[in-house]
Structure 1
Amino acid sequence: MTDIDIRKDGHAGRITLNRPKALNALTYEMCLAIEDALWEWRADPTIKLALIDAVGDKAFCAGGDIAERYATGTAGDYAYGQRFWRDEYRMNALVSEYPKPVVSFLQGFTMGGGVGVGCHGSHRVVGDSSKIAMPECGIGLIPDVGGSYLLAHAPGHLGEYLGMTTDRMGPGDAIHVGFADLYVPEDKWQGIKAHLCADGDLAALATAARPAPDAPLKEAQAQIDALFGGGSLGEIVDTLRADTSRFAQDALARLSRSAPLSLACTVAILHQLRAEQGDLRQALQLEYRFTSRSMEHGDFIEGIRAAIIDKDKSPKWSHDLDRVSDSDVAAMLRPVEGTEVTFERRSEA
């Protein structure tokens, strides 16, 4: 059994994540395999679309496999993690810019690295079990793998809310926010996949799609926009503290569990992308400015220790909510010294 099953099936190039016991967490080798397959299929006239799915009912992909990055980072080797992020981000851009349709089926948890694989394609399918989130601030990172681009283009200030609180979206909210396109009952998925492979015709998707379920965040849009419209972490925190509603206090409690430096940089990145109308490539490059420094100068190692290694859920962050300065943010988001994210096909492929 391999971690990823890549094959041709009729008129479809198939990519199936196959680590169900690990919630299909994405390894470095899986990232490279996805990239290689997509490049190969670009020039294959018999392949009309790429179809990405996963084994198991609990998760499409619950994130990136961070154990190796933690191990190397604690040993003072930051180069491995930096290379992982650069290669992963290049793959994310390839999915987004692919000249053929990319259809993804997002059951269960789709978080972090799973968003990078499954939420940049042309036809993103969700069902009743779908739970999509960007939980990176909770482990000392920022919404990456192009997640900042999706959040920056979400209606109003839902991007700040989701990126900072790490709240999960059900199928209706995922479509409303822009992380998915189609709601299809999951008992129809296997039949649709068979049709897609047999004839490469996307009509089967349109026929099976149903009206999206309720979107609670859409209903809370006005309140979220009022609470998360501040220009910095400090302004948003002040607004939340001044609002005694249950919604605001719950959001504040969620923020209080995440890394303040990550929260502040998330706000800065989303505002910059909106102001400059940045595209996905710019988002990935901005994200890399942070992630490439996250082990040595940020809270990533501590966040993983508390959440995954020791599991004490008591991280000791480098900053308090009220003490993240503009200079702290600027230091994490200044241009990268050394190798940056590039988007050309890697030479060893």
Structure 2
Amino acid sequence: METNEILLQRRGHVGHIVLNRPKAINALNDAMITAITAALRDWETDDGVATVLISGAGERGLCAGGDIVAIYKHVQAGASKEIFWEDEYRMNSYISRYPKPVVSLMDGVVLGGGIGVSAHASHRVVTERSTVGMPETRIGFIPDVGGCYLYSRAPGELGTHLALTAGTGTGADAIVLGLADYYVDSIDLPALVEALAEASADEAIAHFARMEVPPSDLAKDRRWIDDCYRHDDAEQILAALESSGEPKALQAAVELAAKSPTSVKLTLEALRRARGMATLEEVLDQDYRLGIRLLHAPDFAEGVRAQVIDKDRNPRWNPATLADVDRATVEAYFADLGPDELGLAAATVPAGRPQA
């Protein structure tokens, strides 16, 4: 499928994928994902391509996530499933297992699906302009694209905090979280792109990466974050935040309480289950089970309406409180889909990252 929303460029031994919807902060749609996957497949066997580079057009960021407006319209039109997620999750897995180095420039806004297209790469670069996060609980969804795989492996409960509150972090935070590897000043990105055309990914990045990464504000808050989010029950976490004497914890309580109760409980459960999963693909299969069911739950449509369609920022969640979302309801979302399973885990085995 051809689309001008993805630009494919060749320079030296680099195959460069440019997400090209700058007015939408390069939000992903299915045509873009199809084009990205096709390019990766072509370049996998092309001896002239040694490194793949992923970046975003415009000044605002790499990618603001998936095109949730398009998904919302599919739901309103009566779609029984969302093919976008199938294609996206397969792409996420493919990037994570790609046999050649994949360099992602996580400059500017990198949210939701933007994490999926970049944070599973082998060489992940952030800058002083980076804003990273998974905002899904804000729209009645869960951190998908393998976000729970990444967040569940972050130090302590830092990932739990950001996942439940739909919080964001800086480039320095992204490195602490394990979402990125290298910190490069944004002014040096054009020169880095030029260097990648001639040198290996490791050599080129080493020349521009800062030896000392700026302090992470998120890491400074780890004491109260670990203490409040250590519970496996969302109501206990909220109570711990509300009873904390830390002002930031009290603000986190306000943020968490405003999110979809169903999404908060499903996200916490998904994070805890992801900790025990060996591969990204197991988590992506879990993401798919939850996504298919949330597609038909009231909060997803309501969340998108409130945040993106009507923009009144006043979603009416159903159920309205954490206490109203019982354990049986949570368990039902995680049930096997039978013949409709995505099946990524069954087709893969653990794999290491490529080096260059």
TM bracket (short chain): over 0.9
**In the alignment, which residue of structure 2 is the partner of 1:241?**
242
Per-residue CA deviation, residues 98-146 of structure 1 (Å, 9 max, x unaligned), is 1111001111110001000011101111111100010001001100011
**In the alignment, which residue of structure 2 is the partner of 1:93?**
93
Query: C-alpha separation between the residues in 1 aligned to 2:42 and 2:341?
Result: 25
Task: Say which SS state the counterpart of residue 124 (structure 1) adopts.
Answer: strand
Task: Say which SS state the counterpart of residue 291 (structure 1) adopts.
Answer: helix
Aligned positions of 1:190-269 closer than 5 A: 190-210=190-210, 211-269=212-270
**In the alignment, which residue of structure 2 is the partner of 1:330?**
331
Query: C-alpha separation between the residues in 2 aligned to 1:98 and 1:342?
Result: 19
Query: C-alpha separation between the residues in 2 aligned to 1:277 and 1:298?
Result: 29
Task: Say which SS state the counterpart of residue 54 (structure 2) adopts.
Answer: strand
1:258 CA drift (Å) = 1.0
1:201 CA drift (Å) = 4.6
Distance 1:132 1:201, change over 3 A: closer
1:78 CA drift (Å) = 2.7
Distance 1:226 1:201, change over 3 A: closer
> Is structure 2 residue 15 aligned with structure 1 residue 13?
yes
**In the alignment, which residue of structure 1 is the partner of 2:308?**
308
Task: Say which SS state the counterpart of residue 202 (structure 1) adopts.
Answer: helix
Task: Say which SS state the counterpart of residue 45 (structure 1) adopts.
Answer: coil
**In the alignment, which residue of structure 2 is the partner of 1:293?**
293
After superposition, the CA RMSD in angstroms is 1.5
Code of the residue aligned with 1:150 in structure 2: it is L
**In the alignment, which residue of structure 2 is the partner of 1:271?**
272
Give 5+ residue unaligned stretches, structure 2.
349-356
> Is structure 2 residue 22 aligned with structure 1 residue 23?
no
Residue correspondences, number: 342
Query: C-alpha separation between the residues in 2 aligned to 1:199 and 1:229?
Result: 44
Sequence identity percentage: 38
1:337 CA drift (Å) = 3.8
**In the alignment, which residue of structure 2 is the partner of 1:156?**
156
Code of the residue aligned with 2:288 in structure 1: it is Y
Task: Say which SS state the counterpart of residue 311 (structure 1) adopts.
Answer: coil
Per-residue CA deviation, residues 212-268 of structure 1 (Å, 9 max, x unaligned), is 111011111111000101112122112122224311210011112211111101111
**In the alignment, which residue of structure 2 is the partner of 1:106?**
106
Of the candidates 2, 5, 11, which is equivalent to residue 3 of structure 1? 5
Query: C-alpha separation between the residues in 1 aligned to 2:342 and 2:204?
Result: 37
- After TM superposition, the score normalised by the length of structure 2 is 0.93
Asked if the contact 1:12–1:200 (Cα under 8 Å) also holds between the matched residues in 2, the reply is no
Query: C-alpha separation between the residues in 2 aligned to 1:328 and 1:160?
Result: 21
Query: C-alpha separation between the residues in 1 aligned to 2:69 and 2:221?
Result: 37
Of the candidates 70, 78, 82, which is equivalent to residue 80 of structure 2? 78
Query: C-alpha separation between the residues in 1 aligned to 2:159 and 2:298?
Result: 22
1:330 CA drift (Å) = 0.7
Per-residue CA deviation, residues 132-171 of structure 1 (Å, 9 max, x unaligned), is 0100010011000111100010000111101011111101
1:315 CA drift (Å) = 0.8
Task: Say which SS state the counterpart of residue 331 (structure 2) adopts.
Answer: helix
- After TM superposition, the score normalised by the length of structure 1 is 0.95
Code of the residue aligned with 1:130 in structure 2: it is S
Query: C-alpha separation between the residues in 1 aligned to 2:342 and 2:37?
Result: 15
> Is structure 2 residue 54 aligned with structure 1 residue 57?
no
Of the candidates 46, 49, 55, which is equivalent to residue 47 of structure 1? 49
Query: C-alpha separation between the residues in 2 aligned to 1:272 and 1:222?
Result: 23
Per-residue CA deviation, residues 284-341 of structure 1 (Å, 9 max, x unaligned), is 0111111111121251111101111111111111121222211111111111144222
Asked if the contact 2:112–2:143 (Cα under 8 Å) also holds between the matched residues in 1, the reply is yes
Asked if the contact 2:18–2:57 (Cα under 8 Å) also holds between the matched residues in 1, the reply is yes
Query: C-alpha separation between the residues in 2 aligned to 1:73 and 1:312?
Result: 20
Asked if the contact 1:196–1:202 (Cα under 8 Å) also holds between the matched residues in 2, the reply is no
